[in-house]
Amino acid sequence: MDMSLQKKATALNEMNEMKVISIPIEQGCISIRGLSPNRFRFESEYALEKGSTDNSFLFTNSENSDGNNQEAILVHPPGALYSKVFMPVLAKVLPKPDKLKKLSVVIGHVNPNRVNLLKQLAETYPALEFVSSNPGAKLLQELWTQSKPTEPNQEKNNIAIHPPFPKVNVIKQETNLTIGPYYQLKLIPAPTPRWPGGLLAFEENLGLLMSDKLFAAHICTMDWAESNRASTEDERRHFYDCLMSPMQSQVSTLVERLEELDISIIAPGHGPAIETSWRSLLNDYRTWGEGQRHSELKVVLLFASAYGNTATIADALANGIGRTGVQVEILNCEFTPTNELVTAIREADAYLIGSPTLGGHAPTPIVSALGTLLAEGDKEKLIGIFGSYGWSGEALDLLESKLRNGGFKFGFEPIKIKFSPDAGMVKQLEETGTAFGRSLLKEQKQNLRRSPGGMNASRSDPAVLALGRIVGSLCVLTARKGQEENSLSGAMVASWVSQASFSPPGITIAVAKDRAVEALLHTGDQFTLNVLAAGRQNKLMKQFLQPFPPGANRFQGVSLNKSPADQPILPEALAWLECCVQQRMECGDHWLIFATINHGKVQDPGGLTAIHHRRTGANY
């Protein structure tokens, strides 16, 4: 294992108190769950900061009581960040390495972190065999001897020694693995652009679907299964929006296949299992993608990723674009046939292309995709480029020079990130994606106005005019989340606010899906609602209604106080309420947030509330 990764894992274990527990399911079947109470990654899908679990499953041939010639199947092992606590637990539930006839490891997705743990397994268990899909086997071989780039002129004092690459049982189509007298695993290839090596496992006698990334949620819990559907819906929806939404066509196809199985329980790679409401979750996976499927605008996102950093950037950009309702189609250039690439480019309304830099060059699939984009792309459509690098960035320079010389219009400045983005950068990337999506919608709106009969007739609809007569108080919602250098903050002007309950005292706020602050308003998050004073609202309105560039500090130059929960208070506000989000309901292009009141104060007892009057209900 790479020493820097080992040190990082040790530090994280101590800080986050990572641990691993074993949960018996049936005789010879155990769930091995890694628990991380705190957020340890800055990818978008971890933004709820509720920790996570990493779930693997062990099946053993327990009929050999003498301990000899035993076999075992390990499904979806975790990454190396859990290795310090995972390996000892695994050793307790497995026979000694010299007593183990065969250890088959089913690998559902491949990344460098997971490969580092697989190397430790290879060093410990001589009878190791990998079970993976064909693309998964290819990625395993590529990453097995791959090392992170070193700084130019830096001496390589510690040359990594890699164990021999184990035998691989390549699964090209649905296949059954049998172990012992009872367990039979159906292995189902599940390739997606984000995880081309995807492989699901279904144990037919238990009806147990081990779905890896599908249906996952980042929640740290020791409970085997969720208590009810509502208890994890916000977290599962967030995971879907961050990672599954740009692949909704492939995900929908997988869901249709899974519905043919005789499922009793779904156990994803992250979060608790789903026992009683898995049919509802499958239905949600279909309906959550409906909005994007019906979008008239589509962005095609082309990428390749060596260490996962470029994929993280792609996820954040896609998440931001998705908030505007614009469809994103994500394609992994390493595993996308040329004809599919050409079709996607021709049908897209805008393009994004991302690449790592490997050995001073762009990967060959990206160079090929760039050539296709230059030949087939429409130069009147917006484009954006992004990527990560180690100690150089030649791949991104190549993309930029070729596309600028080709006459393409850039929707944002090229995004070049050294190694992996931190929490602030991920938020900036999401806001960049949202701005990109808004620019496409703005251009579409302008084109509709120029076309005959293109004006929006709803503005003159009597019912819409009547809707505009509903007035609301003018407020500024402010929020802060996280600690120290990784803290995130946001704000927005809010007028769609109403008291919702007496006991407990609560309010509802409608928040547009493309608002940057929406990401800080999930269940359990806290915020402050600052009620503005009539006659004194203009200064604060001007501050928070101005367009902010992605990643900008909304509070720059603004005097702030703090609520008991460390939420921002505007001293010039008439009153403030510190609130905690209890529920979210999707309402068309907005989220309706229900929050209860923790604290509050009227700062000017003699003042009156500023009111927002509208002529129409077609806009704010």
- 379-421 pLDDT, tens digit per residue, is 999 999 999 998 788 999 999 999 999 999 999 999 999 988 9
Does residue 154 surpass a pLDDT of 70? no
152 φ, ψ (degrees, to nearest 5): -55, 140
Q: What is the CATH number of domain 464-612?
A: 2.30.110.10
- 210-261 pLDDT, tens digit per residue, is 999 999 999 999 999 999 989 999 999 999 999 999 999 999 999 999 999 9
SS3 169: strand
Give CA–CA dist 303/332, Å, rounded: 5
Closest to 477 (Cα-Cα) out of 509, 506, 447:
509
pLDDT at position 486 is 80
- Rg for the chain, CA atoms, rounded: 26
Q: Are 415 and 309 in contact (CB under 8 A)?
A: no
Does residue 275 surpass a pLDDT of 60? yes
Angle, alpha carbons 283-284-287 (nearest 5°):
90
| Tokens matching residue 321 | 């674009």
Give the range among 233-237, 286-290, 467-471, 522-526 with minimum mean pLDDT: 286-290
Q: What is the mean pLDDT of residues 458-473?
A: 88
Orientation of helix 364-376 relative to helix 394-405, angle to 10°:
10
Q: What is the mean pLDDT of residues 126-153?
A: 85
Closest to 127 (Cα-Cα) out of 72, 82, 60:
72
Going by C-beta distance under 8 Å and a sequence separation of 6 or more, which residues neighbour residue 559?
570, 571, 572
Q: Sort strands 409-410 and 382-389 into parallel, antiparallel or unpaired.
A: parallel
| Tokens matching residue 40 | 């340890």
pLDDT band at residue 197 under the 50/70/90 scheme: very high
What's the mean per-residue pLDDT of the chain? Answer: 91
Orientation of helix 423-450 relative to helix 309-322, angle to 10°:
40
Higher pLDDT, 43 or 4: 43
Dihedral sign for Cα atoms in the order 595, 596, 601, 604: positive
Does residue 149 surpass a pLDDT of 90? no
pLDDT at position 490 is 96
Tokens 């994280």 correspond to 12
pTM here is: 0.91
| Tokens matching residue 533 | 């004073």
Does residue 113 surpass a pLDDT of 60? yes
557: left (phi over 0), alpha (psi -120 to 50) or beta: left
Does residue 167 surpass a pLDDT of 60? yes
Q: What is the mean pLDDT of residues 428-456?
A: 83
pLDDT at position 467 is 93
Does residue 448 surpass a pLDDT of 80? no
Q: What percent of the chain has pLDDT over 70?
A: 92
How would DSSP label each residue in 353-385? EE---BTTB--HHHHHHHHHHHHHS-TTSEEEE
Q: Cα torsion at 169, 175, 177, 181 (round to 10°)?
A: -160
The DSSP symbol for 125 reads -
Please list the residues that pair with 24 across neighbouring strands. 30
pLDDT band at residue 548 under the 50/70/90 scheme: very high
Give CA–CA dist 200/613, Å, rounded: 54
Q: What is the mean pLDDT of residues 115-139?
A: 96
Distances in whole angstroms, Cα of residue 538 to Cα of each of 440, 473, 503, 572: 30, 14, 34, 11
Q: Integer distance in angstroms from the first to the last C-alpha of the chain?
A: 56
pLDDT band at residue 285 under the 50/70/90 scheme: very high
Q: Are 230 and 274 in contact (CB under 8 A)?
A: no
pLDDT band at residue 70 under the 50/70/90 scheme: confident
b/e string for 206-232 if b means 16 or more Cβ within 10 A?
Answer: bebbbbbbbbbbbbbbeebbbeeeebb
* Centroid of chain to Cα 420: 15
Position 332: which residue type? N
Angle, alpha carbons 19-21-26 (nearest 5°):
165
pLDDT at position 3 is 41
What residue spans define the domains of the chain? 3-146+161-287, 305-446, 464-612
To which CATH superfamily is domain 305-446 assigned? Flavodoxin domain (3.40.50.360)
How would DSSP label each residue in 439-462? HHHHHHHHHHHHSTT-S-GGGG-H
SS3 549: coil
Give CA–CA dist 407/373, Å, rounded: 12
Q: Do domains 3-146+161-287 and 305-446 have the same CATH topology?
A: no
- 512-527 pLDDT, tens digit per residue, is 999 999 999 999 999 9
Give CA–CA dist 11/483, Å, rounded: 18
Does residue 563 surpass a pLDDT of 80? yes
Going by C-beta distance under 8 Å and a sequence separation of 6 or more, which residues neighbour residue 72?
58, 59, 60, 61, 94, 95, 100, 102, 103, 104, 179
Q: What percent of the chain has pLDDT over 90?
A: 82
Does residue 584 surpass a pLDDT of 70? yes
pLDDT band at residue 40 under the 50/70/90 scheme: confident
Does residue 359 surpass a pLDDT of 90? no
pLDDT at position 146 is 79
Higher pLDDT, 64 or 95: 95
pLDDT at position 162 is 87
Does residue 171 surpass a pLDDT of 60? yes
pLDDT at position 294 is 79
Q: Cα torsion at 90, 95, 97, 99 (round to 10°)?
A: -170
Higher pLDDT, 498 or 455: 498
pLDDT at position 454 is 46
Q: Are 590 and 510 in contact (CB under 8 A)?
A: yes
Q: What is the mean pLDDT of residues 317-329?
A: 96
Position 163: which residue type? P
Angle, alpha carbons 572-577-582 (nearest 5°):
145
Does residue 554 surpass a pLDDT of 50? yes
Domain range 3-146+161-287, its CATH number among 1.20.120.1770, 3.40.50.620, 3.60.15.10, 1.10.150.120: 3.60.15.10
Give the range among 47-56, 105-114, 144-153 with minimum mean pLDDT: 144-153
Does residue 5 surpass a pLDDT of 90? no
pLDDT at position 39 is 84
Give CA–CA dist 159/150, Å, rounded: 11
pLDDT at position 484 is 75
pLDDT at position 455 is 44
Tokens 């791959």 correspond to 146
- How many CB atoms neighbour CB 448 within 10 A? 12
